[in-house]
Structure 1
């Protein structure tokens, strides 16, 4: 076991901020997800896999709120949500131990185990350390989801909501620090935070274009972070009182997403922008379109144009053409594209050759979260995951600013991980968002039920009570 001084210091700093800033432990959870390349400790029993800052904070949340969450479930929490989470968790554990042995040698996989020297070539399926290490992350994520979805009081939900707003502003501050330092020749200003050892493509330059990485492992992850928090900040800006801080956060996060030069980030941004246009169009049919939405589209367009002009002022058009060709038009022919394509092809074979059961959590990787989920957990695991996400949208009559922000962000997050997720672990950020959304759904359902009871108990002719 090897402890990282930087990671431990960040955890202590976040806990101190949560305490002194009255954000609470839940408020710092979304902020901790930004430190996705900072390890706190490397665990030998996990095959040397690092425990990141977000993992440690999530573990503290589970321990601190676990017993209280169980009591709330017993007092009438959402039984459907808890049943789905429990079923998904049980099936994941069963698959990790049973399927690699049941289908041993029946198919080939790109193993997640660190014990194999051959990393980029498929090997016959067999039990490996990846089954245990990835299962630990899988269990932690679903335990976190259980705790968050059971914390249905207004204070806890408000802390999580504020945490996402502060995380969006903090991410914008990271962009404002890194962008000028990259182009002034200083290099990576956050290199000291990258204490986790990952074997990923971490190029920080494509042609003449510098790539922003923030606190993330690579530019693609940073672009995904910008898109998810931009989606949350966009809904909050349109539904909450307007402020210059919220407006500047939107513009800076857009610039950061563009400057990350990630093909997955660009496609995710296009998907999010399309959702925003459809949402505004639907709102215009029901009522007059909000001026804030017009301002958002104008400022986002100006942000993209400014970044483009900055690039063109320093470089010629051949550099821009090379960038677009590498990231978009010729992505499939790059070494990264070829490698990820082979992962996806093998994931589909794993699903077919195991008759739809899957090869077990942690047995293999893919270049798409849903292909990784389908190949690792099969039809049953994929169906349970989709049912959990659909719980956010099943009760379409329920609506609030928080729930709308979570729904919009979840769609962007799901789209993003479907492009670049490599393992069954959807990440602490995703399950924090989902937990906040499920808790808000349960709270609104209880509030709606109380309003109905008050209405039924009111004398005839009385107006509908407010609530």
Structure 2
């Protein structure tokens, strides 16, 4: 085991900021997502696996909650009132069993893609137990436990302020380090954030695409940074539309530019998909005849952008050639590139492994794909994919049917977190290689589920009080059980 000093210093800094923000363990966990290639240790006995620092904060949060005196009563309340927790627990058990059993039961019967210890690249090999069965399953179980302990906290105390501060801290750190990386690479300074990329990953931070420096921030590559940028953008944009916050408005602008400047196909495809609900919402407002000021502002910026691009092209015809080459290489001809062919091959073989195992899957962590849904299907099989789809359904439903019993600020934060999780899922669906949906997914499940239960409890209290007041104010002959004498 090798300890990383920069990783430890980053953890200390996050803890100090979280302590000052009055929400040490929860805020630290959320903020740690900004460091996508920072690890504290490298576990040599697990094939060189290097857990990112968010796993350390997950373990810290779980330990803090587990040490509470009322932990068993709190767990009983969680399992008794939040039904999705039973689905999550079943999926965790299935993942553990599958990670141990399926690579042994179907050994040699299908092809998978694993990390080569010698060349450090992904290679095709016959199915067999690998270190990823332990490490990847461990990360997934840690995420599931994080959902459970967050539910125990959110069910018994009002912590919406901690959630809001944590997510804005995460988005602020992500945007700030993205700007630093952009300035450093374009000013000739170099990769300023290299010292904090301590994870044992293939680091691709000095790459160029069509003459543009790829923005990676504190992540290992541009696509990972783009995925996190999409999630942060979804959070800040949703919060801005619901609360009219000026801070979140400008944060959304910065994150939008960073997403575009990342030069990643994940960013552009994900951004196009995220624009669909925005356009539908604006269209609905037009049809209702109730256009909001923020929607007018968005339309004005879009028109100004189009006019600006047309003006530049008229002034100098070849001025936009670098951008055209960028779009051509990242979107139009991406599928025809060597990387596109390779990733397509991963997905095709992963689907074939699902068929070869009779729909049971190759086991969590046994292989990698190039799309999260395909990775889930190939590793968790039909039953695991069904349970994952049910958890996704929790996020899709959100606060539908109970939002009237939720405070406006609480609803804004919850829906912002939910949309951030969706954006992360979209990014993983474009280029994710693991069946693990990520820590943001587990946080969102806890926040949405606990808020729904609290809203239903509030509704029940109001209903009981309403009936009581109606009985008290009713005439004697209208009270059930009493005679009209």
Q: Paired residue for 1:340, among 343, 357, 379? A: 343
Q: Paired residue for 1:199, among 202, 207, 213? A: 202
Counterparts in 2 of 1:30 and 1:155: CA distance versus 1, 3 Å: same
Contact map agreement 2:230 2:267 (CA 8 A) in 1: yes
SS of 1:359's partner is: coil
Contact map agreement 1:251 1:299 (CA 8 A) in 2: no
Offset of residue 264 of structure 1: 1.0
* Gapped regions of structure 2 (runs ≥ 5): 404-410, 474-485
SS of 1:331's partner is: coil
- Structure label with greater radius of gyration: 2
Q: Which TM-score applies when normalising by structure 2?
A: 0.88
Offset of residue 308 of structure 1: 11
Residue in structure 2 matched with residue 351 of structure 1 by the alignment: 354
Offset of residue 445 of structure 1: 2.3
Contact map agreement 2:41 2:50 (CA 8 A) in 1: yes
Residue in structure 2 matched with residue 85 of structure 1 by the alignment: 88
Residue in structure 2 matched with residue 246 of structure 1 by the alignment: 248
Q: Once the two structures are superposed, what CA deviation does each residue of 1:224-282 show, in whole Å capped at 9, x if it has no partner? A: 11111111111111212432x22211111111000001111111111111112223334
Residue in structure 2 matched with residue 218 of structure 1 by the alignment: 221
Counterparts in 2 of 1:276 and 1:95: CA distance versus 1, 3 Å: same
Runs of 4+ in structure 1 over 6 Å off: 303-315
Q: Once the two structures are superposed, what CA deviation does each residue of 1:333-356 show, in whole Å capped at 9, x if it has no partner? A: 222111111110110000011110
Offset of residue 365 of structure 1: 0.3
Counterparts in 2 of 1:95 and 1:298: CA distance versus 1, 3 Å: farther
Offset of residue 332 of structure 1: 1.1
Supply the distance in 1 between the matched residues of 2:470 and 2:228 (Cα, whole angstroms).
52
Residue in structure 1 matched with residue 14 of structure 2 by the alignment: 14
Contact map agreement 2:82 2:449 (CA 8 A) in 1: no
Matched ranges for 1:227-246 at <5 A: 227-243=230-246, 245-246=247-248
Contact map agreement 1:92 1:135 (CA 8 A) in 2: yes
Contact map agreement 1:8 1:40 (CA 8 A) in 2: yes
Supply the distance in 1 between the matched residues of 2:311 and 2:201 (Cα, whole angstroms).
34
Q: Paired residue for 1:384, among 384, 387, 400? A: 387
Matched, 1:166 2:169: yes
Residue in structure 2 matched with residue 465 of structure 1 by the alignment: none
Matched, 1:397 2:401: yes
Supply the distance in 2 between the matched residues of 1:307 and 1:339 (Cα, whole angstroms).
34
SS of 1:155's partner is: coil
Matched, 1:109 2:120: no
SS of 2:358's partner is: coil
Supply the distance in 2 between the matched residues of 1:339 and 1:247 (Cα, whole angstroms).
39
Q: Which TM-score applies when normalising by structure 1?
A: 0.91
Supply the distance in 2 between the matched residues of 1:51 and 1:306 (Cα, whole angstroms).
45
Supply the distance in 2 between the matched residues of 1:34 and 1:118 (Cα, whole angstroms).
25
CA RMSD of aligned residues (A): 2.8
Counterparts in 2 of 1:78 and 1:46: CA distance versus 1, 3 Å: farther
Matched ranges for 1:390-429 at <5 A: 390-394=393-397, 396-399=400-403, 400-429=411-440
Counterparts in 2 of 1:364 and 1:20: CA distance versus 1, 3 Å: same
Supply the distance in 1 between the matched residues of 2:72 and 2:175 (Cα, whole angstroms).
37
SS of 1:123's partner is: strand
Supply the distance in 2 between the matched residues of 1:306 and 1:26 (Cα, whole angstroms).
43
